[in-house]
C-alpha cells in the first residue's frame, strides 16, 4: 500500500514539473491570458490552452489517509473534466459561433471535443488538511489546428458570417501591374541616375574650379584690403594737408593784405624819408646848430629803412615758402585731385569685389536607392479596441470585406491558430517566434461583432506583399 502511495506522489510531481503552456520564455512573457475573477479557470489565447480547477473529497468511511487522498484526487479530476467540458463549450470559434454550438451540430466535433477532455493534463495537485484535493488541469483546444480542421471538415458545421469575401486576385493583379510600372520607372530612374552621375562629376570639376577661384579671390581681396588700408592712411594725410592748406590760404590772404598795406606804407614812408633827406641836405647850413638833432633823425630813418627791409624780406620768404608753408598751391590741388581719382577708382573696384562675395560651394546630393523590406509576419495592433478573443477571428477592410480568416486566407488551416493573441506592446511582440522579429505592423481602426478587426485599405495593399506569410498563418493580434 505504501509503495502505491509513493508512486502516486511521484506521478503528481512529474506532471507538475513537466507541465508547460508552450513556447519559449520570451513567447510566454507576452501571452494573452483571460482568467475568470474567481480563479477557477483561465484561457491562454496565445497558446490556445484552457486551464481549469477541480475539487474532490475522499469518503469518510475510508480510514487510510493515503487511500482517501487517492480517491479525493480521482474525484477532483472528474470535477476538473466536467468543468473543462463546460468551459470549452463556451469558447468562441468566431464572433457568432461557439464550440458548444458546433458540438450540437456535429457528432464529429462532439467526439473530438470529448477526446480533448479525456486527454487533459494535470499540471498541479494540492491536498488540504480537511482531506480534500484540488487539481489544475489543462487542454490544448486547437493544437496544430486540429480542432478547426475537425470542425471545418464536418459537413454538418457551417461557419456563417455576413462578410463578403475580399477579391485578393483582383488586388494582386492590380499590384502586379503597379510592380511592372514601377520596374519600368526604375529602369528610367537608372538611366537618369547615370545622367546624374555625369552631372555630379561635372559639378565636382566645376566645384574644384570654383575653389581655385575662391583662393585667387581671397588673395585678391587681401591685396585690395591692404591697398584700402594704405588709401585710408593717405586720406588721413590728405585731410591734414587740406586742413593745413586751408590755414595757409587764410594766412596768405591776411599776409597779402598786410603786405599790400605795408608796401603802401613803405612807399609813403620812403617818400617822406626822401623828402626829409632832401630838406636836410638843402638846409644843412641853416640848421648847423641843430646838426646833432639832424643826425639823430637820419639814424632814425636808417632804422626805419632796415625795418621796412625786414618786412619786405619776410613777405618774400613767405611767398617762397621758406617758413614751411606750401608755396605751390596748384601743385597741391593737382595732387589732391589725383589722390581723389585714385580713391574713387579703388573704392569702385573694392565695392565690385564685395558685391560679388558669394558662397560658390555647393552640396551635391547622392542618388538614394529605394530599399524593400523583408517582413516576417503580420501584427495587428488592436490595443485601443475592446476585443473578445476567438479561435478564428476575421480581418476586414474598410468595406467590411473579409481579407483574412476562414474561407479567404489561409486556404487550409495547418499551422495552429488562425491568429495568436499577444500582449505587452509592439517591441515585445517582435520577440514572438511565430511572427518573427520584423512583422508588418498595421493598426486596427475598428471592430465588428466584438471580435473581428477592421484595418485600412492602404494596409490591405501592404498585406498583399506578405500573402505567402498569411497563408502560413504567421499572424498575431496585439491586445
Q: What is the DSSP string of 263-295?
A: HHHHHHHHHHHHHHHHHHHHTTTTTGGGHHHHH
Q: What is the pLDDT of residue 431?
A: 87
C-alpha 78/C-alpha 118 separation (Å) is 10
Phi-psi region of 22 (alpha: psi -120 to 50; beta: other; left: phi over 0): left
Q: What is the DSSP string of 289-319?
A: GGHHHHHHHHHHHHHHHHHHHHHHHHHHHHH
C-alpha 430/C-alpha 436 separation (Å) is 6
Backbone dihedral angles phi then psi of residue 213, each to the nearest 5 degrees? -65, -40
| Domains in the chain: boundaries | 2-152, 185-355, 372-478
Cis peptide before 410 (omega within 30 of 0): yes
Yes or no: say if 440 and 375 are a contact pair by the CB < 8 Å rule: yes
3-state secondary structure 11-39: HHHHHHHCCCCCCCHHHHCCECEEECCCC
Yes or no: say if 239 and 343 are a contact pair by the CB < 8 Å rule: no
* Degrees, nearest 5: CA angle 59-64-68: 35
* Degrees, nearest 5: CA angle 262-264-267: 105
Q: Cell digits for 259?
A: 603786405
Q: What is the DSSP string of 133-173?
A: EEEEEEEETTGGGHHHHHHHT-TT------PPBP-HHHHHH
Block residue for cell numbers 506592446: 425
Q: Cell digits for 269?
A: 614812408
Instruction: For residue 149, give the nearest of 345, 411, 478 by alpha carbon.
Output: 411
Q: Cell digits for 446?
A: 475598428
Q: CA–CA distance from 167 to each of 354, 417, 448, 469 (Å)?
A: 69, 23, 20, 18
3-state helix, strand, coil in the chain (%, to 5): 55, 15, 30
Backbone dihedral angles phi then psi of residue 283, each to the nearest 5 degrees? -120, 20
- Local structure of 456: helix, strand or coil: coil
Give CA 327 to chain center in angstroms. Answer: 77
Q: What is the pLDDT of residue 450?
A: 87
H or E element that contains 245 = helix 168-282
Give CA 434 to chain center in angstroms. Answer: 32
Yes or no: say if 467 and 175 are a contact pair by the CB < 8 Å rule: no
- Local structure of 54: helix, strand or coil: strand
Q: Cell digits for 273?
A: 624819408
Cβ neighbours of 75 (radius 10 Å) = 19
Block residue for cell numbers 617822406: 272
Q: Are strands 440-448 and 378-381 parallel, antiparallel or unpaired?
A: parallel
Give CA 470 to chain center in angstroms. Answer: 33
Q: What is the pLDDT along the chain (479 residues), one digit of tens a residue?
A: 333 333 333 233 233 333 344 455 556 678 888 888 888 889 888 888 899 999 998 887 877 778 888 888 999 999 999 999 899 888 888 888 888 888 888 888 888 888 888 888 999 999 988 788 999 999 888 765 666 666 665 555 566 666 777 878 888 888 888 888 888 888 888 888 888 888 888 888 888 888 888 898 888 888 888 888 888 888 888 888 888 888 777 777 765 665 566 566 656 666 665 666 666 666 656 555 556 666 666 666 566 666 556 555 655 655 555 444 444 455 555 555 655 555 555 555 445 544 544 443 434 444 344 455 799 999 999 999 989 998 888 999 999 999 998 878 776 666 567 888 999 889 988 888 889 899 999 999 999 988 899 999 999 999 988 988 998 889 999 98
Q: What is the DSSP string of 100-115?
A: HHHHHH-HHHHHHHHH
Q: What is the pLDDT of residue 439?
A: 93
H or E element that contains 399 = none
Block residue for cell numbers 511521484: 10
* Degrees, nearest 5: CA angle 428-432-438: 80
In this structure, what is the dihedral angle of CA atoms 305, 310, 314, 320, given to the nearest 10 degrees?
Answer: 80
Q: Which residues pair with 421 in a beta bridge?
A: 477
How many Cα neighbours within 13 Å face the side chain of 343? 15
Q: What is the pLDDT of residue 445?
A: 94
Block residue for cell numbers 625786414: 310
In which order are the strands placed within the sheet that holds 402-404? Answer: 402-404, 395-396, 452-455, 440-448, 378-381, 475-478, 420-422
Q: Which residues pair with 378 in a beta bridge?
A: 440, 475
Amino acid at each position: 500500500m505504501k509503495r502505491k502511495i509513493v508512486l502516486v506522489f511521484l506521478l503528481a510531481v512529474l506532471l507538475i514539473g513537466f507541465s508547460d503552456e508552450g513556447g519559449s520564455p520570451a513567447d510566454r512573457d507576452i501571452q494573452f491570458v483571460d482568467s475568470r475573477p474567481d480563479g477557477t479557470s483561465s484561457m491562454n489565447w496565445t497558446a490556445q490552452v484552457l486551464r481549469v480547477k477541480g475539487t474532490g473529497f475522499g469518503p469518510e468511511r475510508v480510514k487510510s489517509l493515503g487511500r482517501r487522498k487517492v480517491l479525493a484526487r480521482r474525484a477532483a479530476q472528474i470535477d476538473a473534466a466536467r468543468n473543462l467540458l463546460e468551459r470549452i463549450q463556451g469558447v468562441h470559434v468566431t464572433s457568432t459561433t461557439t464550440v458548444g454550438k458546433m458540438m450540437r451540430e456535429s457528432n464529429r466535433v462532439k467526439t473530438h471535443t470529448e477526446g480533448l477532455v479525456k486527454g487533459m493534463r494535470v499540471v498541479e495537485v494540492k491536498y488540504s488538511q480537511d482531506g480534500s484535493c484540488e487539481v489544475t488541469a489543462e487542454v490544448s483546444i486547437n493544437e496544430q489546428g486540429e480542432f478547426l480542421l475537425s470542425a471545418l471538415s464536418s459537413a454538418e458545421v457551417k461557419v456563417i458570417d455576413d462578410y463578403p469575401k475580399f477579391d485578393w486576385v483582383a488586388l494582386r493583379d492590380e499590384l502586379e501591374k503597379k510592380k511592372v510600372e514601377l520596374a519600368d520607372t526604375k529602369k528610367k530612374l537608372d538611366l537618369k541616375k547615370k545622367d546624374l552621375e555625369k552631372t555630379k562629376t561635372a559639378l565636382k570639376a566645376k566645384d574644384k574650379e570654383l575653389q581655385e577661384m575662391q583662393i585667387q579671390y581671397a588673395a585678391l581681396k587681401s591685396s585690395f584690403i591692404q591697398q584700402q588700408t594704405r588709401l585710408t592712411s593717405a586720406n588721413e594725410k590728405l585731410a591734414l594737408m587740406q586742413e593745413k592748406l586751408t590755414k595757409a590760404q587764410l594766412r596768405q590772404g591776411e599776409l597779402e593784405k598786410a603786405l599790400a598795406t605795408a608796401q603802401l606804407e613803405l612807399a609813403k614812408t620812403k617818400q617822406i624819408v626822401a623828402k626829409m633827406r632832401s630838406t636836410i641836405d638843402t638846409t644843412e647850413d641853416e640848421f648847423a646848430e641843430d646838426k646833432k638833432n639832424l643826425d639823430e633823425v637820419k639814424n632814425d630813418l636808417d632804422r626805419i629803412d632796415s625795418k621796412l627791409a625786414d618786412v619786405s624780406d619776410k613777405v618774400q620768404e613767405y611767398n617762397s615758402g621758406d617758413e614751411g608753408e606750401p608755396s605751390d598751391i596748384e601743385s597741391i590741388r593737382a595732387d589732391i585731385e589725383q589722390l581723389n581719382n585714385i580713391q574713387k577708382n579703388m573704392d569702385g573696384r573694392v565695392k565690385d569685389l564685395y558685391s560679388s562675395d558669394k558662397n560658390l560651394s555647393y552640396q551635391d546630393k547622392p542618388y538614394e536607392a529605394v530599399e524593400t523590406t523583408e517582413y516576417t509576419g503580420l501584427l495587428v495592433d488592436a490595443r485601443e479596441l475592446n476585443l473578445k478573443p476567438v479561435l478564428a477571428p476575421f480581418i476586414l477592410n474598410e468595406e467590411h470585406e473579409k481579407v483574412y480568416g476562414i474561407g479567404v486566407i489561409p486556404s487550409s488551416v495547418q499551422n495552429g491558430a488562425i491568429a495568436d493573441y499577444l500582449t505587452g506592446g509592439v517591441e515585445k511582440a517582435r520577440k514572438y517566434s511565430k511572427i518573427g522579429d520584423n512583422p508588418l505592423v498595421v493598426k486596427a481602426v475598428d471592430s465588428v461583432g466584438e471580435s473581428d478587426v477592421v484595418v485600412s485599405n492602404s494596409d490591405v495593399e501592404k498585406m498583399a506583399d506578405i500573402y505567402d506569410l498569411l497563408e502560413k498563418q504567421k499572424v498575431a493580434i496585439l491586445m
